[in-house]
Structure 1
């Protein structure tokens, strides 16, 4: 059965263009295309969609308000498609934090030409959203049991390089005891998940380093948002930032982040380099550096995300003596990265999202 999409946008031209592109994609059907969220609510009473494709700037109710209403009342996957997000990184982060699975930017002019050229991005976002694990969507998909539809990329994906292109694996040497360190890797659904975890931590939580798959220019706004709501300090990482208690460092989009040790102190390096597991920053790169520099002083956490970035790195951390934790399937938006880590034997313990902050706090006592 096809993925049923509800398009919500106040522009008739946008509705026509988006509907045409999606209906032309195998396994996707636009069931309704409406001008505002109130009309969307009426259609949803008749036919519950698998995915909503949602604009932000609309009459009667804006898209962010509608998104929060959906997520608080009856969650389902939402993809934002708006010209506003192209101009505002803060608005993109707000949409992701409110529960959007993905954000697809569109221009204010030359819409048809642009969206045709970027149809693969839009279609991939819809398919990824349909596979995500929001509460209502999971129930509906279990009932309907649709046949899986493989994506049809317009061009071959880039070569999948490993962390070897950035730094060599460790030599198995035992790392001396020092301050605790927590390394977190996440992707799709991670903006919300990180907000819940980091905002629950006390101000003296162990030092934290984070890779969240996110494009360049977005991580600064994301870190600033987290800093405003957390007891710990949160910042976009810079080379030579110290990893210390009460601080979380977020890897910048478009850069790799590594941890190095100097004496008993940890610092980060932010570097250029090729994509690893088709990502930059890469979780595998971060986790390998932590395995080499911190060993048994570290806790590795892999959270919601598509693909397998971080699975091999988490295994290296476990072999180096670190504790390793994965977010459980039920609380993941996409149970991809944690699932691959579990399959490799990299995970010591699987816990719900709401228990991850306790694992981090416990790390302070685990190595003393």
Structure 2
């Protein structure tokens, strides 16, 4: 059965481009193209789409309000169509909190040409959304902050995620205490969104969260997020760990790549590191997590039931790279328990 897709966008040009992209794919069926939320509501009830592409900025009722109502009344996988602006990034993050699966960022200039160039990206995100689990997080309570007896700079936590990862990472980091080991994160995200995401996390967490700028020393109680257009690595500098950003080719299909981060952690920190692989499409991070496992690091994968997309963790588990397979709501506590054991084992 083809994937039934509904396009919702107030721009006739974007509706036309997305409609042509969807109609060109043999495994997809365009069931409608709505110019506003009112028409979209009627089409959702009549056509029962498998996936909706939804513009954030619409007149009358904006995309966020429509999404909120949709997720309460008829939860459906949604791919947001966002803008590469600060306001657009904030709205996109809010849409992911409300239950959207993923997003596509419209270029600032040359929108028609840019959207056409995103053909493959758009159809991949639609396919991923059609196989995802719709997660509603509206009204969810904040995770319990876990305590840990730890002081020092030798332990590191490395986290990787993709589709569904913005909310998963947020839940894990919100459970970290202010004295948690330095944490480095690679989340598949385009440039322009990672800085907004880091600020959002920083406002919610007890630890300090920053977008990495390169060269900084890793400090306990801090988390560093890879920029959306750079690979992030961790290097040893004497007794310190420092961040190195590089602008190389994509690795495992991505830049930033989780495999690049995990591989560098394996070399610089060895068994002092903990590797965590959360929800996401594809296999990025699985090879790197296996490297960490082989260095006798503690390695964690999110379980299938709690993943929005059980891709990256699944591949890692199949490779035998996971010492622990856990639901998302148990992940933060388990990580801190492992830190506690590692710290106790290193005391004289």
Q: Please confirm whether the aligned pair reaches a TM-score higher than 0.5, indicating the same fold.
A: yes
1:272 equivalent to 2:247? Answer yes
Following the alignment from structure 2 to structure 1, what is the Cα–Cα distance between the partners of residues 311 and 182? 26
Counterpart mapping for 1:138-287 below 5 A: 179-287=154-262
Report deviation, 1:72.
Answer: 4.8
Deviates more, 1:80-89 or 1:226-235: 80-89
Deviates more, 1:345-354 or 1:68-77: 68-77
Following the alignment from structure 1 to structure 2, what is the Cα–Cα distance between the partners of residues 84 and 251? 18
Report deviation, 1:359.
Answer: 2.0
Following the alignment from structure 1 to structure 2, what is the Cα–Cα distance between the partners of residues 217 and 79? 18
Give deviations 1:293-344, integer Å, cap 9, x for gaps.
2222221100111111111111111111110000011111211110110111
Do 2:283 and 2:311's aligned partners in 1 also have CA atoms closer than 8 Å?
yes
Counterpart mapping for 1:16-55 below 5 A: 16-55=16-55
Deviates more, 1:336-345 or 1:208-217: 208-217
Give deviations 1:250-296, integer Å, cap 9, x for gaps.
11122221222344432222223222112222111111121222222
TM-score by length of 1: 0.81
- Is there any run of 5+ residues in structure 2 with no aligned partner, and where? 137-151
Aligned to 1:169: none
Q: Structure 1 pair 203/72, CA: closer, same or farther in 2 (3 Å)?
A: farther
Structure 2 counterpart SS, 1:305 = coil
- 1:353 pairs, out of 318, 323, 328, with 328
Report deviation, 1:86.
Answer: 9.4
Aligned to 1:162: none
Following the alignment from structure 1 to structure 2, what is the Cα–Cα distance between the partners of residues 72 and 181? 39
Q: Structure 1 pair 115/319, CA: closer, same or farther in 2 (3 Å)?
A: closer
Q: Structure 1 pair 295/120, CA: closer, same or farther in 2 (3 Å)?
A: closer
Following the alignment from structure 1 to structure 2, what is the Cα–Cα distance between the partners of residues 329 and 246? 29
Following the alignment from structure 1 to structure 2, what is the Cα–Cα distance between the partners of residues 206 and 246? 6
Aligned residues: 328
Following the alignment from structure 2 to structure 1, what is the Cα–Cα distance between the partners of residues 114 and 284? 30
Aligned-residue RMSD, C-alpha? 2.6
Do 1:308 and 1:341's aligned partners in 2 also have CA atoms closer than 8 Å?
yes
Following the alignment from structure 1 to structure 2, what is the Cα–Cα distance between the partners of residues 90 and 3? 29
Q: Structure 1 pair 267/113, CA: closer, same or farther in 2 (3 Å)?
A: closer
Following the alignment from structure 1 to structure 2, what is the Cα–Cα distance between the partners of residues 50 and 11? 22
Do 2:234 and 2:268's aligned partners in 1 also have CA atoms closer than 8 Å?
yes
TM-score by length of 2: 0.85
Do 1:56 and 1:84's aligned partners in 2 also have CA atoms closer than 8 Å?
no
Q: Structure 1 pair 227/72, CA: closer, same or farther in 2 (3 Å)?
A: farther
Report deviation, 1:13.
Answer: 4.6
